[in-house]
Amino acid sequence: MSVAPSVVICVYTEDRWEDILAAVSSVRAQSLTALETLLVVDHNTVLLDRLTKEYKETDEVRVLANAGPRGLSAGRNTGIAAARGAVIAFLDDDAVAERDWLRHLAEGFGDPRVLAVGGRTLPAWDSGRRPAWFPEEFDWVVGCMYKGHPGGRVRVRNVLGGNAAFRRTAFDVAGGFATGIGRDGDSRPLGCEETEFCIRLTRARPDAVLLMDDRAVIHHRVPAARERFHYFRSRSYAEGLSKALVSRSVGSGKGLESERRYTTRVLPAGVVRGLRDAALGRPGGAGRAGAIVTGVFAAAGGYVIGSVRARRAGATFSVAEIGDDTGGEGARHE
């Protein structure tokens, strides 16, 4: 029998009101009933009040204020501290989960060595279809599973935070998500806080198993603004900046382990496919090949600049002790 997880959804803007309601509805419709759904509101009193009124008659949904500094990491840490479940799942506020999502995530914890299970995130394009130039190899740009990632149920270095579940004991061992790496309300689309956490977790528990199960599916909304080439380039650059911080925290060996295979095998194959499609007269082939090359250079540039800045300025971030009053302070890393 699968254990019923707590589900945490971090929210920050009223602009996603309908998305938030849809995300909660998809959790309430799961084949495995969640123990509870926690909506953590990131320093937005208007949204906090509105959601509190929306779910005041719904016992299984709790609305909380982020108890730490602004940002996704502190919001997640607030949810972890408040959750009652032995397993805590996370869902993006602009995604909807398929009916068996939670059941497939929970099944992975039948093995006591498993401390995290991630699922498959598919893009739901606002325009109704993928832009012809947008390479599937770069779907991580819009928070989704990319072409070339191993399928089935496989062991991975890290899971993706918007579609994943962790044992509560993982946070007892490794602390919470680090603030100062991922999104914090700034306009730049940073990320990688879950990568840093997963690497830190497996360092603390070398016997830990982290899984990806592609049967645990969610559909992640991609708004029109993120279907544009400008966002693609900006997000690729921001990923490089974030990876520089992760590497500073855990070392480039682990910090770039998966990326080496991706850049030496997956991306060259994608360029070849794009050029082949262009030669065959298929739409978007040249654009996809060009986008892959642009994305690589943008990410590499962000990594170099981020590394230089970190060395000069001494980039600082915090690892939360779950359950403290701040939700975002604890051991500091320079």
As beta bridge partners, residue 8 has: 38, 90
CB 333 within 8 A of CB 320: no
**Least confident piece of the model among 8-22, 183-197, 284-298:** 183-197
- CA 327, CA 80: separation in Å to the nearest integer? 9
The residue range of the domain holding 163 is 6-228
Residue 140 lies in a domain: yes
The mean predicted confidence, pLDDT, of the chain is: 89
Residue 10 lies in a domain: yes
CB 295 within 8 A of CB 270: no
**CATH number of the domain within which 165 lies:** 3.90.550.10
Residue 193 lies in a domain: yes
CB 91 within 8 A of CB 97: yes
| 14/191: higher pLDDT | 14
pLDDT at 73: 92
Section 55-84 average pLDDT: 96
Within 10 angstroms of residue 308's Cβ, the number of other Cβ atoms is 11
CB 115 within 8 A of CB 166: yes
Residue 265 lies in a domain: no
pLDDT one-digit tens code per residue, 24-36: 999 999 999 999 9
Q: Which residues contact 7 (CB under 8 A, 6 or more apart)?
A: 27, 34, 36, 37, 38, 88, 89, 90, 91, 102
Residue 324 lies in a domain: no
Residue 301 lies in a domain: no
pLDDT category of residue 251 using cuts at 50, 70 and 90? low
- CA 98, CA 173: separation in Å to the nearest integer? 31
CB 290 within 8 A of CB 296: no
pLDDT at 332: 40
pLDDT category of residue 330 using cuts at 50, 70 and 90? very low
pLDDT at 67 over 90: yes
pLDDT category of residue 327 using cuts at 50, 70 and 90? very low
pLDDT one-digit tens code per residue, 135-181: 999 999 999 999 988 889 999 999 988 999 999 999 999 999 988 66
Count structural domains, the chain. Answer: 1
Residue 111 lies in a domain: yes
180 backbone dihedrals φ, ψ, rounded to 5°: 100, 0
| 41/329: higher pLDDT | 41
pLDDT one-digit tens code per residue, 99-109: 999 999 999 99
pLDDT at 149: 85
Residue 132 lies in a domain: yes
| 119/328: higher pLDDT | 119
